[in-house]
């Protein structure tokens, strides 16, 4: 059975709106998601890179993120045909482990929690496919990288791209 590794943030968990909102609240700014077309939040306001990272280091930041539309339904279906692993580079934000784990147990309880992979370098993953919004994770990954669209990666090319979870279904099932 083929394996699909699926990133968490900005693929199944919608972290960007909360990150932008928290930054705007803390710095009396009014950045909009549309402002991030082809650019990362920290590149838009480079003078606040440390503050932006600190938001993500808050232990509860990841606990109440919205679930990406259709991700639960499609992953349930994929789970009937593939081995599914949820993979997150949690070592970038080590304080996130508990919140991320609890979020996965709440929203993806149909998956075996032994298939939740908290790592740093996704090059260690032994999977046929990696669905991720960050092309950096494809560099050392030996399988096929599939780019999940996000405002920040709109200028990236050279990878198969999926815009949403219905396209993920079509990519693998149809």
Residues designated catalytic: 7, 9
CB 56 within 8 Å of CB 63: no
CB 63 within 8 Å of CB 47: no
Give me the sheet containing 160-162, strands edge to edge. Answer: 116-118, 83-88, 3-7, 129-132, 144-148, 160-162
For the beta carbon of residue 155, count every other beta carbon within 10 angstroms: 8
Give the whole-angstrom CA distance, residue 83 versus residue 55: 33
Give the whole-angstrom CA distance, residue 157 versus residue 127: 22
Give the whole-angstrom CA distance, residue 89 versus residue 114: 16
């Amino acid at each position: 059975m083929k394996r699909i590794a699926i990133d968490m943030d900005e693929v199944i968990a919608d972290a960007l709106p909360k990150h932008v909102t928290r930054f705007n609240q803390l710095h009396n700014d009014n950045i909009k998601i549309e402002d991030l077309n082809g650019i990362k939040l920290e590149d838009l306001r480079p003078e606040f890179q440390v503050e932006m990272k600190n938001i993500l280091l808050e232990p509860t930041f990841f606990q109440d993120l919205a679930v990406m539309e259709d991700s639960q339904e499609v992953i349930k279906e994929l789970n009937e045909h593939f081995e599914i692993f949820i993979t997150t580079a949690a070592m970038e934000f080590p304080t996130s482990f508990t919140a991320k784990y609890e979020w996965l147990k709440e929203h993806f309880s149909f998956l075996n929690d032994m298939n939740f992979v908290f790592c740093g370098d996704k090059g260690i993953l032994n999977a046929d496919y990696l669905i991720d919004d960050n092309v950096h994770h494809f560099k050392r990954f030996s399988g096929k990288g599939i780019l999940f669209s996000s405002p920040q990666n709109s200028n990236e090319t050279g990878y198969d791209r999926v815009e949403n979870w219905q396209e993920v279904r079509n990519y693998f099932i149809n």
